[in-house]
Each structure stands twice: as C-alpha cells, then as structure tokens.
Amino acid sequence: MFTIVKREEMSQGTVILNEIEAPLIARKAKPGQFVILKANEDGERIPLTMADTNPEKGTITIIYMVVGKSTALFRDLKVGEGYQDVIGPLGKPTHLEKVGKVVCVGGGTGVAVLHPITRGLKEVGNHVTCIIGARNKGLLILEEQMKAASHELKVCTDDGSYGHHGFVTEVLREVLKAGDIKLAVAIGPVPMMKAVSAITKEFNVETLVSLNPIMVDGTGMCGGCRVTVGGETKFACVDGPEFDGHKVDYDELILRLRAYQEDERSSHNHYCNLRDAK
C-alpha cells in the first residue's frame, strides 16, 4: 500500500491534493513525468502527472479533480489510508536547459503539472514569467507556489473576480509582444493549449504542451493514449507526455477525450447508484 501522509481539499473542494509515500518513485522522478494510480481492486488505472516530489521524505504529490468513479474513490481515501498501486515514474521528463526568457501558462489542474516544470526552468537559469488562470478566484490553485517558482506571476480569472479579467491567452499575447520569449510551456484543458499554441505560432516561439489522453498500461502496449503529432501517431505514455504544441492534432484529441469523458460520466453515475443502494 502507498500511504497518504497529507490530504488537502482545494478549489472549493473539487480538487484534492495527496502527498503519498513512494520512496523509490520520489528518488527517480523528474519534472514532467507521471504515475498511474489505482485506489483498490474496484478502481481504474488513472494517470496523473506529479505536482511535486520530495526524495528526502520519500513522497510524491498528486493533485486531481473529482470527475468520475475512480477519482471519487480517490477522494474517499483519508490520511493513513493509501492506494493499492502506484506505478512510475513514467513518460519522458521535461528537457530543462537555459534558453533565456520563458513563459509558462497553466489552466485549472494543469497548474499542478506546470509547477515542477516552472521551478526547474527557473533553477537552470531562465527568466520565467508564469500565467495561471481559472474560471473564478475560488478555483485557483497553487498561487503562492507558482509565485515562488517563477520571476513574475500573472493571474487571470474568467469572471474577473481576481487578477486579470479574461483568459490566459490575452495576457500571453501581451507578454509575447514584449519580445524575446524563447520558449513557452502550456498545460491545462486541451482547448486552452490549442489556443496558446496558435498564438505562440504567430510569434514563432517554440511551445511545449503536456497531453494526458486516456491511458491504460503506461508502456505503449495498449495504444489507448495515441495522439497525432506532425501527422504521425505517437503514444503519450512513452513518447510524451510533452509534445511540440504546434504539431498536435488538437481536434482529434478533443474528440477522443470527449468520448472517454462521456463513458466516465456514465460509469460515475453507475457507481453512485450502486453506492447509494448499499
């Protein structure tokens, strides 16, 4: 069992942080990599990119949104309880090098994935501007951590309840206009990454996005996580999860995710009916 040593409810209780004992993973994990977790025999395998690692404590931190049956099982786990399985680290780590000025853009729970990458880019000597956004102030996560991980933090809310009133893409365009940005990293909802990539392409700025389609085995054997990048089929679990944002077929990815989410909602309703009947 992989024991939960810290649990925190974030974003109005819809997003949960778990710090988990996993010493072997914590020692080897690098920014950008993910793990696959399973709560118990009844749960599904869920891929989540690590928001943080602590090799000294032997822990990893994950942050997830409760959206279906399996994440509902995750939510029910308390401190002292644990996950049946945690597999990782999986995927290719982010390539961190000094390039100059970098902009990191995060939306929703994508901010959790962006955190270790932003920190890593700063630590290798880049000047990092970070832009994070959410629908409203109550849904923002990791603001203080992102402020510490970057040189400049800009916050956006769709409803204007905090920070810039509008989308992260509006602020991104102003940052790019200021010039000399060498790299952009965007992590969040697929439509957001698509929009960010379209803007950075206008400015000819290299862009990385992190893709997390449905995954099953995490080794490239099942083919469930296939995505089209530059006209070629790639597997997010072994070729990614990071790809060139200017080459991703976002429309295809959105269709595949939509089909999966519909299945997940159906499974969640079935789970709730069974739970309530007990």
The reported pLDDT for the residue numbered 269 is 39
Q: How confident is the model at residue 222 (pLDDT cuts 50, 70, 90)?
A: confident
pTM of the shown model: 0.86
Whether pLDDT at 260 is above 80? no
Q: Using CA atoms, how far apart are residues 81 and 31, in angstroms rounded to an integer?
A: 26
Q: How confident is the model at residue 66 (pLDDT cuts 50, 70, 90)?
A: confident
Whether pLDDT at 75 is above 50? yes
The reported pLDDT for the residue numbered 270 is 34
The reported pLDDT for the residue numbered 263 is 45
> Which has the higher per-residue pLDDT, 12 or 59?
59
Tokens for 225, please give them: 């996580």
The reported pLDDT for the residue numbered 207 is 98
The reported pLDDT for the residue numbered 213 is 66
The reported pLDDT for the residue numbered 73 is 87
- Percentage of the residues of the chain whose pLDDT score is greater than 90: 69
Give me the chain's average pLDDT, please.
88
The reported pLDDT for the residue numbered 278 is 38
Q: How confident is the model at residue 268 (pLDDT cuts 50, 70, 90)?
A: very low
**What mean pLDDT do residues 257-264 have?**
61
Whether pLDDT at 273 is above 50? no
Pick the range with the lowest mean pLDDT from 111-120, 150-159, 185-194, 249-258. Answer: 249-258
The reported pLDDT for the residue numbered 67 is 80
> Any bridge partners for residue 8, and if so which?
17
The vertex-185 CA angle with 173 and 207, nearest 5°, equals: 75
Domains in the chain with CATH codes: 2-90 (2.40.30.10), 101-256 (3.40.50.80)
Q: Using CA atoms, how far apart are residues 27 and 55, in angstroms rounded to an integer?
A: 5
- Percentage of the residues of the chain whose pLDDT score is greater than 70: 92
Whether pLDDT at 199 is above 70? yes
Tokens for 52, please give them: 């943080």
**Strand 152-157 vs strand 164-165: parallel, antiparallel, or unpaired?**
parallel
Of the candidates 225, 200, 213, the residue with the CA atom closest to the CA atom of residue 254: 213
User: What DSSP assignment string belongs to the chain?
Assistant: -EEEEEEEEEGGGTEEEEEEE-HHHHHH--TT-EEEEE-STTSPPEEEE-SEEETTTTEEEEEEE--SHHHHHHHT--BTBEESEEEEEESPPP-----SEEEEEEETTHHHHHHHHHHHHHHTT-EEEEEEEESSGGG---HHHHHHHSSEEEEEETTSSSSEES-HHHHHHHHHHT--EEEEEEESSHHHHHHHHHHHHHTT-EEEEE-----SSSSSSS-TTEEEETTEEEEHHHH-SEEETTTB-HHHHHHHHHHHHHHHHHHHHHHHHHHHH-
Q: Is there a contact between 165 and 172 (Cβ–Cβ < 8 Å)?
A: no
Q: Is there a contact between 154 and 171 (Cβ–Cβ < 8 Å)?
A: yes
Whether pLDDT at 256 is above 90? no
Phi/psi at 150 (nearest 5 deg)?
Answer: -130, 175
Token pair 């009844």 is found at 42
Q: Using CA atoms, how far apart are residues 170 and 219, in angstroms rounded to an integer?
A: 37
The vertex-132 CA angle with 179 and 183, nearest 5°, equals: 35
